Structure 1
């Protein structure tokens, strides 16, 4: 579709193929590309993508081989909760300086690993390569291998140098590190149960999902990676099914585990009533247990009776409001559109950082005519599209919050920093409550009357 003839907004020429309007005509959209130089993309870097996937492993030590700023940037980056160890709350860095750039940082990395091993006797260490390491060429593979041989523990290199791609490449680097960790077990035995991939226990959401499966009689073998442990992860090859919550970060791992260990996978989403119901039932059917299917139906029926009156209250207050969405993956965006539809709201803009072509096809099919769809956007585009479409609220992550408030638009954090769960039946009510409280806050009238937005 020719953007110049259909969109009134000023965008970089190179960005026009990454933006489209839902219409009856051709809606081809470019995606899965590197960010355009100069567009100030909202995407995070490769290292950040790797860190957010691996950091929730609660008994692992995470060493950032690079400048101190990289460790600071991702320290406690997600609101992942732990039911036990708190080691992952710490952030360790080799703190590379100018001298190390000239002469190399391998000695510093070796010293950091030695210090942690001698003081704390860890079972597992992840070593993250940052941009500067990719430039100076430190051989972190050799350093990690030496440490494994000397201390008889797992020391896993994570190839996350920023110049190697975008955030999606960081997800892939993290998945490769997890596969390397799983090599200890070859999947030669099987446990009737599931691995939950791609939930990071933000505000305790992994606990909610796990409880659903416990109630319907399905065993959770391993959690990847929210509230997970080293001993648990190495059992993952024995599971009989993988369910993938965050498709953007964990589909690669699911596909590789299917090849290596023969574990099939299905994609799920526990955001919103519609997707939560279908996901619970799909897992129950996939496990082939009639009793689990029966219990799943009973669980769903009971939960719907409990929450529908609460949701009806918010539906009356939110009907007709207009929402903009900018999140990490396409699967979450799809679930959010369905949630807004259920609340009687209209999605006027939707975008992702790492969406896939097939996910954008689904998005096009479920949004209304005239909805703006975009991939890997930047603040200028977000501002223009939200303003033009009259969005009442933006759902995004921490980087999008200041922009929404600057424009006098309500905001919902669906990413790192939230303190309450938004998944499952409980999360659907929490989500509706937050959307209502922020959209219908009296502060917006004050701001607009005062000419501040």
Structure 2
């Protein structure tokens, strides 16, 4: 546990965290994450955060050393997509019971589970996740993983991020530490080149990175490793030979980017693939970093030519939507990198931003929003459900973009809603993704269901009945009421 405490302290002192830079040494030790309120839901534990970051490594077996309840359903974790292996969708757990805890059988059961996975699936590596129970009873996960790796001849990686150590975001960073300690740098590629890059913090949600990768391919830029979206173990093991890196979600993997720069001299920048302007800027910065690391400067010209062609095609497609969406009011109830990247993307086609949430956003994210919106009044940390419902029901916005947690508030307020978080079904990255995002917003706003559900229900109207159907004494009240209603026409109803 002492090594885990050291890791946590190291992550909390992350110098690349924008919020930490302005603090003195004492304040920095308190960490860059918002402190948790005792008794309140934290939005996910450290174990959950670690698994979110590592599970999209698609050919690895992810083994949860814990009671059965700690392992959730792995199928389609956060909407990440794979172009090949599906082993990551299989749930593996040691299913620790009370008897195992009392009799001290946890480590033995873990070793046996690793052997069974090796024999049945033959993965290139196995990741082992302890949780609160196994960490508290003192199972030596690292010793078991080391012994199993020697015995079975494959990497067995301990991911030391039990739930009780902190929030989901802390778990993201501890997962990055596991990659640094046990994976990255353990394999040497035989095809390293001057145009190799890493993409960090990209989860390939709904396969959206597949809309960006063809652009890089056309420039001759190879993605050595995309961590973690659609990743393979050997790709990550050889990621230290990349020449540059782009960080998509800094709150999750900023420590990974900084330490890779320190150890292997891989410069990085933070960018976004949402919206045409940000996508173009990301391509430019990638090319510029590669040139600084020795690539041929002619790639800069090819990048500008590609950007010009792709932007022209995208704007031509968006022209049909501008008259239908210009001036429409949007509320973004999300956070992180989407709090500013999606804002910028929507403003490009004339959509008005009523407000955007900055929950889970870094200080740098918030500064970007202020630069884009030019007004702090459109920024809110979080909005209570009652206040959110009031905003929507009063028709102050035309559509809300958020995650699945608040969709029912929008539906209750009879307001169009679009999912832009990890559960979404459509990719929104890159130039084609921008067109798809606008298309989905247009479909949601102009769906005829909204004017229908906003109409008063027929039973809320008071009909002025003209003639009643004859009834018999033997008929029930329900039958009589049905006849009474069935005999009416549209003229029988008064104004609603």
TM-score of the superposition, structure 1-length normalised? 0.85
Residues 92 and 374 of structure 1, relative CA distance in 2, 3 Å threshold: farther
How far residue 355 of structure 1 moved from its aligned partner, in angstroms, is 1.5
Q: Flag structure 2 segments of 5+ consecutive residues without an equivalent.
A: 1-30, 459-496
Residues 98 and 328 of structure 1, relative CA distance in 2, 3 Å threshold: farther
Structure 1 residue matching 2:83: 3-state secondary structure: coil
How far residue 353 of structure 1 moved from its aligned partner, in angstroms, is 4.2
Residues 63 and 383 of structure 1, relative CA distance in 2, 3 Å threshold: farther
Residues 233 and 310 of structure 1, relative CA distance in 2, 3 Å threshold: same
Aligned runs of 1:36-55 on 2, under 5 Å? 36-37=37-38, 40=41, 43-55=43-55
**One of 417, 420, 427 as aligned partner of 2:423:** 417
Provide, for residues 8-43 of structure 1, a one-character-per-residue CA deviation record: whole Å limited to 9, x for no partner: xxxxxxxxxxxxxxxxxxxxxx973133345545x3
Provide, for residues 84-122 of structure 1, a one-character-per-residue CA deviation record: whole Å limited to 9, x for no partner: 211112111222334345445333322211211122222
Distance 1:239 1:423 in 2: 23
**One of 249, 267, 272 as aligned partner of 1:269:** 272
Equivalence for 1:338: 344
Distance 2:397 2:46 in 1: 31
Structure 2 residue matching 1:64: 3-state secondary structure: strand
Structure 1 residue matching 2:78: 3-state secondary structure: coil
Distance 1:409 1:55 in 2: 35
**One of 245, 254, 259 as aligned partner of 2:262:** 259
Equivalence for 1:120: 121
Greater shift in the superposed pair: 418-427 or 374-383: 374-383
Residues 447 and 373 of structure 1, relative CA distance in 2, 3 Å threshold: same
Check if 1:441 corresponds to 2:447. yes
User: What is the alpha-carbon root mean square deviation over aligned residues?
Assistant: 2.7
How far residue 427 of structure 1 moved from its aligned partner, in angstroms, is 0.1
Greater shift in the superposed pair: 90-99 or 209-218: 90-99
Distance 1:395 1:348 in 2: 11
Quick check: 1:216–1:293 contact (8 Å CA) kept in 2?
no
Equivalence for 1:97: 97
Check if 1:181 corresponds to 2:171. no
Quick check: 2:74–2:90 contact (8 Å CA) kept in 1?
no
Equivalence for 2:311: 304
Greater shift in the superposed pair: 384-393 or 239-248: 384-393
Distance 1:35 1:346 in 2: 34
- Structure number, greater radius of gyration: 2
Distance 2:377 2:450 in 1: 24
Bigger fraction of residues in strand: 1
Quick check: 1:32–1:355 contact (8 Å CA) kept in 2?
no
Structure 1 residue matching 2:128: 3-state secondary structure: strand
Distance 1:240 1:45 in 2: 34
Residues 343 and 287 of structure 1, relative CA distance in 2, 3 Å threshold: same
How far residue 294 of structure 1 moved from its aligned partner, in angstroms, is 1.4
Structure 2 residue matching 1:221: 3-state secondary structure: strand
Quick check: 2:188–2:238 contact (8 Å CA) kept in 1?
no
Distance 1:379 1:139 in 2: 44
TM-score of the superposition, structure 2-length normalised? 0.78
Distance 2:279 2:101 in 1: 49
Quick check: 1:203–1:419 contact (8 Å CA) kept in 2?
yes
**One of 393, 400, 403 as aligned partner of 2:406:** 400
Distance 2:122 2:211 in 1: 32
